[in-house]
Structure 1
Amino acid sequence: MADTTVLTLREAAFVFGDSLKNISRTVDEHAGLAVTLTRGKRNVRVLRMPDLIYLQALNDVGHLLTPQGRRALHEALLSGRSANQVIVGGFSLPLAQLRNEVVRRLGTLNRLKNSVDGNPDDPLIKGTSVEVYRISALLDGGAEIDAVLRDYPGLTRAEVQLASDYARAIPKKGRPYPKISFKRAIVTLGLDALDELAVEE
């Protein structure tokens, strides 16, 4: 059965602990390294399992390969000619070991995806009614985890970190959430002083 794994470039950047800029540059430098899929009204470049294994091989031994060697390696991976190893020049690369490392890395992304509920475009932290992207926006706005926990006492530290990791791997589409919570906005604007004036009147 063929492997149907596909990752966006941003997901791949998260999985490999790299920047989107570096992953995009690698894809641009290697013809055929990504395919374009239509998702809704957008065209999205995605990487398949052979492409991910290739990226893992580049991580491991890319600095030892010539441009020709890199092309030969990617072509061999795409062809699926060997299930055990790929030989490029004087290198023998163990495919099982490379694939296992990719699967391990994918496990982190899959755990993130399984930790949310609801609409994939605006998911909730599993078991809560709190939007993942709302929490990540607060962190992006400079809020410390402890401050977020004070505003959302039903969350755990791990759930706040999950929201940050999820948004890094799978960014929100459309309008972002505010980077400051309603509670913080009230404190910042000093609106509690208005309550005191209303009581005095």
Structure 2
Amino acid sequence: MALILNTGQNSYKSDLEGLFETLQEQRSELLSMVRDVQLAARLLAVAEARRLSELAGDDPRVAHYLNSSDTILRRAAALEIESEIANIRVPPITKSETLLQGRITDESARATAHVAVTLVDEKGAPVVGVASVETDDSGYFAFILQPAQVDAIGAGRKLTLQVGSASGKLVPVAAQAFTLASGEVKVSETRLQPSELEKLRLRPVQR
């Protein structure tokens, strides 16, 4: 839990940041707890369906419990994605800096962690002066660009994202072209297709 000094104007900013961080941590913990409860409920539903099936195979409650199990599994998967998003920490920037951020995921929005993300132009060439970044456990990445970097790129220049691993690099089919401006916050979400995950030999995060 973050330390809240509460000494007035001098600690206002740090106290606010600390309070927000505490709320984020609590949200992540609660989502994880709810997901665990859902998975436990699914185990109970499956066990009860198996018990009823052994006692009387035509018991209508068997189908009910199995359907409930599938519903619970989908709910747990959605909670997993929410937990990943809750763990994201957006870096602070100044008014003149440009933030390009987003997530690299599979088609079901599960995180693709620890892959290189490179800013490239419409011809696929890496943008000079902008280093690649790596996604975290939530599939989140962030480029923080200074005004001089944005000016060097040029207003109106079409850009996109390249994703890479030890097995290769590619510009995802789902990647959308965009432009950048000084002081802008841009979000670029990219979902990799199964064939792209296979080509890069990547697997979404499994928890």
Q: TM-score, normalised by structure 1?
A: 0.25
Q: Which has the higher helix share?
A: 1
Q: TM-score, normalised by structure 2?
A: 0.24
Q: Which has the higher strand share?
A: 2
Higher relative contact order at CA 8 Å, sep ≥6: structure 1 or structure 2? 2
